[in-house]
Amino acid sequence: MDPIVADAADILRRHPAPGLPLRTLLELLVRGGGASGVDAARLRMLLEARPDRFRVLDMWRGPLSVLAPAFGAVGGDGDAWVAVMDDPDAMEASGPRVALRVRESVRWLARAVDGRATRELARWQRLLQVESATRAALVAGLPPDGGATGNRGPVAADGAGSPRSATIRHAA
């Protein structure tokens, strides 16, 4: 197997996210010393040649390519997302167990995404965003919405701190 492909698989297996932008994966490969002289187009070609190991999903191909600049994407190979399709038992990422399970679910869903269907690509992209927010909240010990659910933490034994007790005290 090509050493660049093997290094890319290792990076994706260890990373806490279910997928990475191709540009980020390339930066990590270069930083690790395994991809000197490789550009995004060549890396994409190498990964797409192994559909049994990788999914390369590109939001900005086809009809949405004209919208890429409006969303901060430059288009082209660097904006594609890459997910490794290894067995979940082979994954080496660390973190809270729930976060890893969510990661694996989103990563596994990449298998079923039709790379030509913009709606499916957009849904998977949204799943990536939700997974990232969920992972960050789980690591920080917060609910996935950052505490906006109205959960104010534990309620004291006398009920102080609950919205209902505040109304009762105020009315008295």
Query: Given a cut of 80, is residue 108 above it in pLDDT?
Result: yes
Cβ contacts of 148 within 8 Å, gap of 6 or more = none
Angle separating helix axes 3-14 and 22-31, nearest 10 degrees: 110
Measured CA to CA, the distance from residue 59 to residue 125 in angstroms comes to 8
Sign of CA dihedral 48, 52, 54, 60: positive
pTM over cut 0.85: no
Residue-wise pLDDT tens digits, 22-53 = 989 999 998 887 677 788 889 999 999 999 89
